[in-house]
Amino acid sequence: MKRLQVAVVGLGRLGRACALALLDSGELALAGMVVRRPPPHEALPGRLQRYPLVTHVRDLPPLDAALLCVPTDVAAEVARELLQARIPVVECASLEGQALQDHYERFDDMTRVYKATAIVGAGWEPGVLPAFRRAFELLIPRGRDTLDRHPGVSLHRSAAVDHLPGIKGALVGEYRGEGGVPQRYVYVELHKGVDFERVRAAILADPLFAGETTQVFAVENLEEVEGEAGQGVVLERLAVASAGIHASLLLEARFDPTAFAAQVMLDAARQLPTRKHGAHRYTLGR
């Protein structure tokens, strides 16, 4: 099957992440990169140096899609020229509420005028996180959500947790959420066969964590967690007491938002051939 030829427009962190991800895609191919002021080729990551770097999309061969990796406030302006040329566009505006609706409608107007196609909001949020929330709501219809977003938490080794039975090692981080309320994150690597729930209960009962919101997670390799950076999300949904059931769902994510956005944009590019003219909000895996 012929690989779709995809251009990356913009070469900041997201643009570079998308370009590198395209090199590892079986269905998509990097046709080239478009940037207003191209850096020297030697300034690019080595794998990208053999690909075209141009100032205008017309200098590239025919395209099947363009990934718009530019700031949200200029995305529609940059997209207009691409859509005029009937080049399908993927963008990843991180907007909410009315601002997202206005952005979507602007793209929809342009795509209908130019008989072109766009996928809007192809990032972690609003692209992926709402899908997790909808799934949680489907499985626990009568429940309540708790969602904590936090930047990469600075983690440190904790002797206070390390000494507990069954624990090989532990990392503890603190994040202050809305209103300055402290929230603790504890990551533990356990010895083989140890019951995680017993360890979790022991940690939560420790006076060090008394009176604070604390999330405890078991991990296979503590060193991998220690080296991670980026952002974090904890989404929990609990059935309300009146529902008559005892159910809970927990999503704990640590990730590089740029890398996630790149993967979601590539997924959106794969969807473009099946979409009709117009603007479409990104939907996971369709």
pLDDT digits (tens, 9 = 90+) for 37-65: 887 877 788 889 899 999 999 999 999 99
pLDDT in tens, 101-158: 899 999 999 999 999 999 999 988 888 888 899 999 999 998 888 887 765 556 677 7
In the prediction, which pLDDT does 213 show?
80
In the prediction, which pLDDT does 19 show?
95
Find the distance separating the first CA and the last CA of the chain, reported in whole Å. 19
List Cβ neighbours of 126 (8 Å cut-off, separation of 6 or more): 94, 95, 96, 100, 281, 282
Q: What is the mean pLDDT of the chain?
A: 86
What residue has token string 């949904």?
Answer: 237
Residue 230 falls in which region: left (phi positive, over 0), alpha (psi -120 to 50) or beta: left
In the prediction, which pLDDT does 135 show?
92
Query: What's the pLDDT band for 223 if we cut at 50, 70, 90?
Result: confident
Query: What's the pLDDT band for 34 if we cut at 50, 70, 90?
Result: very high
In the prediction, which pLDDT does 100 show?
85
pLDDT in tens, 228-275: 556 778 888 989 876 566 788 988 887 888 889 999 999 999 999 999
Q: Distance between CA 47 and CA 41 in Å, rounded?
A: 11
Q: Distance between CA 87 and CA 105 in Å, rounded?
A: 18
Decide if pLDDT at 67 tops 80: yes
Residue 213 has, within 13 A of its CA and on its CB side, a CA count of 14
Q: For residues 178-185, give the mean pLDDT.
A: 66
Q: For residues 88-99, give the mean pLDDT.
A: 88
The better pLDDT of the pair 96, 63 is held by 63
CATH 3.30.360.10 location in the chain: 127-255
The residues pairing with 143 across neighbouring beta strands, listed in sequence order, are: 239
In the prediction, which pLDDT does 46 show?
85
In the prediction, which pLDDT does 243 show?
57
Query: What's the pLDDT band for 179 if we cut at 50, 70, 90?
Result: low
In the prediction, which pLDDT does 154 show?
61
Decide if pLDDT at 216 tops 70: yes
CATH 3.40.50.720 location in the chain: 4-124+259-281
According to CATH, what is the number of the domain 127-255? 3.30.360.10
Q: What homologous superfamily does CATH list for 4-124+259-281?
A: NAD(P)-binding Rossmann-like Domain (3.40.50.720)
In the prediction, which pLDDT does 182 show?
67
Q: For residues 164-182, give the mean pLDDT.
A: 74
DSSP H or E stretch at residue 122: none
In the prediction, which pLDDT does 127 show?
84
In the prediction, which pLDDT does 224 show?
67
List Cβ neighbours of 264 (8 Å cut-off, separation of 6 or more): 92, 122, 123, 124, 127, 128, 282
What percent of the chain is predicted at pLDDT more than 70? 90
Question: Which residue type occupies 95?
Answer: L
In the prediction, which pLDDT does 232 show?
78
